[in-house]
Amino acid sequence: MDQTEKTNQTEQPANERKREKKKFLERRSAWYLIAAALILVFLAIGILAGGARAINDRIALAESQAESKVKSQIDGARLDIEEGRYEVALDRLDWILDEMADFLTEEELAEIGELYSQSLVLINSRTTATPQPSPMPTQVVFTPTPDLRGVQELFENTLQLYASGQWDEVIRSLQALRENDLHFRAIEVDGLLYGALRNRGIQKILVENSLEPGIYDLTLAERFAPLDSSAEGLRTWTRLYITGASYWDVDWYEVVFYFEQVYPHLPNLMDGTFMTATERFRIGVIEYAKQLFEAGEYCLAQEYLEKALMISEDADARTLSEDAAEACLLGELPHEEGRNGESTPAPIEEPTAVSTEKTTPETTETPDG
CA distance 11 to 7: 6
Predicted confidence (pLDDT) at residue 100 exceeds the cutoff of 50: yes
196 to each of 70, 165, 189, 261, 321, how far by Cα in Å?
21, 8, 10, 28, 49
State the pLDDT at residue 360: 36
Report the SS3 class of residue 340: coil
Predicted confidence (pLDDT) at residue 197 exceeds the cutoff of 70: yes
CA distance 51 to 294: 91
Residue of 230, 195, 191, 231 whose CA lies nearest to 215 = 231
The full set of domain ranges for the chain reads 32-126, 147-246, 250-335
Q: Regarding predicted confidence, which is higher, 213 or 11?
A: 213
pLDDT in tens, 297-327: 999 999 999 999 999 999 999 999 999 999 9
211-249: b or e for each residue (b if 16 or more CB lie within 10 Å)?
Answer: beebbebbebbbeebebbebbeebbebbebbeebbebbe
Q: Which fold has domain 250-335?
A: Methane Monooxygenase Hydroxylase; Chain G, domain 1 (1.20.58)
CA distance 199 to 208: 12
State the pLDDT at residue 236: 94
- What are the backbone dihedrals phi and psi of residue 272, each rounded to the nearest 5 degrees, phi first? -65, -15
| Amino acid identity, position 244 | G
Q: Which fold has domain 147-246?
A: 1.25.40
State the pLDDT at residue 17: 64
pLDDT in tens, 118-169: 776 666 555 434 344 444 444 545 455 544 457 888 899 999 999 999 999 9
